[in-house]
Amino acid sequence: MKIFRAFAILAAGAIVGVLAMSASGGEQDDIARILKEFPELNADAIGPSPMEGIYEITLGSRLAYVSADANYLIQGDLYDVKTEENLTENRRMVSRLRSLDKVSESSMIIFEPEETLHTITVFTDIDCGYCRKLHREIDGYNEQGIKVRYLFFPRSGPQTASWFKAEEVWCADDRNTALTTAKAGGMIESPDCGVTPVAEHYQLGRTFGIQGTPAIVADTGELIPGYVSADELVKYLAD
């Protein structure tokens, strides 16, 4: 199952979304069989799917499906034909929120309105043009009642200029001001403050499958790729 091995490797280090389930005897036998075939999995990462005889595998926000006999693996989105609802994406949304709930706001850079109507979590790269465009309008987001929680996602990866800039921002005395300065092209020079949350944020973004920035996670768990203006976003979130 080379495809599954790749799936597991991509999700390595992910926070497993625990499925609330009470397995029957038959389900326990099926799960034991799947675990024997795929020892990389944790039992909590396996649960029933809407399809009879098919089980859902959850690794971070990545999902796949496996047959009860562990002979077949399905990677792709599962839809309800009658409602046209994307059932896989619904599960991803739940997994994203669970993962984000485990990230302390003390490790984020937050721009908060006087009255919060919606909260978005934005994976950002200091050197990304559209991330800078979004940040130039940060007051507009706050005026619309949108709380913006930033997580670092330097697209170039570890030990690169964008990564080091993120760490410099985190180590600044005033992180909000430092982020604004850095996104405007200014230089930030901060003393070494030890371990920063940049690696944690970056790894979480990878488990979400993020490739481009900004990547916005709505308070519903929906992943919205790219820049969206404050006016457009508040209308979208209100729907």
Tokens of 129: 């043009």
Active site residue 125: yes
Tokens of 220: 């519903």
CA distance 213 to 50: 33
Phi (first) and psi of residue 43, to 5 degrees: -55, -30
What is the torsional sign of CA 188, 172, 200, 230?
A: negative
Of 96, 128, 132, 149, the active-site residue reads 128
Of 30, 62, 91, 125, the active-site residue reads 125
Residue 36 contacts by C-beta under 8 Å, 6 or more apart in sequence? 70
Active site residue 128: yes
Of 91, 92, 155, 206, the active-site residue reads 155
Active site residue 155: yes
What is the torsional sign of CA 64, 239, 81, 51?
A: positive
Active site residues: 125, 128, 131, 155
